Amino acid sequence: MKAVILISGRGSNMEALLKADIPVEFAVVISNRPDARGLETARSLGVATAVVDHRGHADRKAFDAALAAEIDRHAPDLIILAGFMRVLTADFVRRYQGRMINIHPALLPAFPGLDTHARVLAAGVRVHGCTVHFVTPEVDVGPIIIQAAIPVLADDDEASLAARVLEQEHRVYVQAVRWFAEGRLTLRADGSVAVAGVARQVTALISPPPDAR
Amino acid at 81: L
How far apart (Å, rounded) are the C-alpha atoms in residues 169 and 183?
Answer: 21
Cα torsion angle, 109, 114, 118, 119, sign = negative
Give yes or no: 74 in active site. no
* Fold held by 1-96: Rossmann fold (3.40.50)
Q: Could you check whether 1-96 and 102-213 share the same CATH topology? A: yes
Render pLDDT for 101-149 as a digit per residue (tens, 0 to 9): 999 999 999 999 999 999 999 999 999 999 999 999 999 999 999 999 9
Whole-model pTM: value is: 0.95
Catalytic residue among 54, 104, 117, 170: 104
Closest to 112 (Cα-Cα) out of 133, 140, 89? 140
Closest to 114 (Cα-Cα) out of 137, 135, 87? 87
Q: What is the mean pLDDT of the chain?
A: 96
- What is the mean predicted confidence (pLDDT) over 87-93? 96
Q: Which CATH architecture has domain 102-213?
A: 3-Layer(aba) Sandwich (3.40)
213 confidence band (pLDDT: 50, 70, 90): low
Render pLDDT for 8-29 as a digit per residue (tens, 0 to 9): 999 999 999 999 999 999 999 9
